[in-house]
Amino acid sequence: MSQAGGLAYDVFVNDPPPQDGVLPNGEPKRFSPMASTLIYGGQDAVLTDPGLTGDQARALGDWVAGRGRNLTHIFVTHGHGDHWFNAGLLAERFGARVVASAGTITQMQGGVATRPLLWDKLYPGMIPPSPVTAVTVPDNRFTLEGHDLVIVEAGHTDSDDTTVLHVPDLELVVAGDAIYNGVHMYLGQSAVSGFGPWRDAIATVEALGPRHIVTGHQNRELDDDAARTIAETRQYLDDAEELLRTEDTAEGFFSAKIERYPDYLGRLILWVSARALYGAREHPEEPLGKITLSSWL
Ligand SMILES: [Zn+2]
């Protein structure tokens, strides 16, 4: 928790949902923990990235309710379903508006189309109805008790048209999947573009001058130091580029990353990323969307 001029924030980290199947090293498939940020004043609050499954919605919703604030907005950083399929459920529970950038709203509609092909297969019966109810806000800005909350376009990171939320009065950036903290990064959708656009997004976040960064996926034991999370996110991309040169197979990449990052959570994401990166290399004729989708299943 951090406090400045009547505004504060706190983070709730949900456990990944249960899942069938094992990874190449024999351990169970596990998604990354999901983090939601509550930014609050004396009366009102704003929640970010409300998660994926009904169980997560209940746990997060009860935590929010315990804060005793009036939830005015639910902000969604990007279109991936793990960040927002619960938005409708929680918006209804708290009477809040769901807000996102125009680009993210388009990506959310894509996420709805992908849902039966991916998310409902991974987590059957666990995900609530997910209509896209998000709206844009003028100039990508809204306020919480007079404090500015600014939606900043980050472009391509782990997917297209991603954004972060900048709260200048808290020196805080809620970074979605532009920055990671102690968990494996989802690299699959960068298999064709490379990591240049993502590096630009990291620079965009850094230029906001945050002291604190809350990442969309994180190890809850770690702090939210901006300089550390930015440096580690860059390093992870550097290492991935190096391993893409030295490792010939997805399995080799997977093992080598674990060797370098033994404490990172969400090895399912590492395996999916490895399969997509090497799948795109081995089948350049196939559309990347098809490759990333099959990498999950
Ligand atoms: Zn994502």
SS (H, E, C) 83-94: HCCCHHHHHHHH
Spatial neighbors of 34 by CB under 8 A, at least 6 apart, are: 13, 14, 16, 49, 51, 52, 56, 82, 83, 216, 217
Global pTM reads 0.96
CA of 81 to the centre of ligand 1 (A): 8
CA of 242 to the centre of ligand 1 (A): 23
In this prediction, the residues of the chain whose per-residue pLDDT falls under 50 are: 1-4
The pLDDT value recorded for residue 5 is 57
CA of 189 to the centre of ligand 1 (A): 10
CA of 259 to the centre of ligand 1 (A): 24
The pLDDT value recorded for residue 2 is 45
CA of 31 to the centre of ligand 1 (A): 12
The pLDDT value recorded for residue 28 is 95
CA of 79 to the centre of ligand 1 (A): 7
CA of 5 to the centre of ligand 1 (A): 32
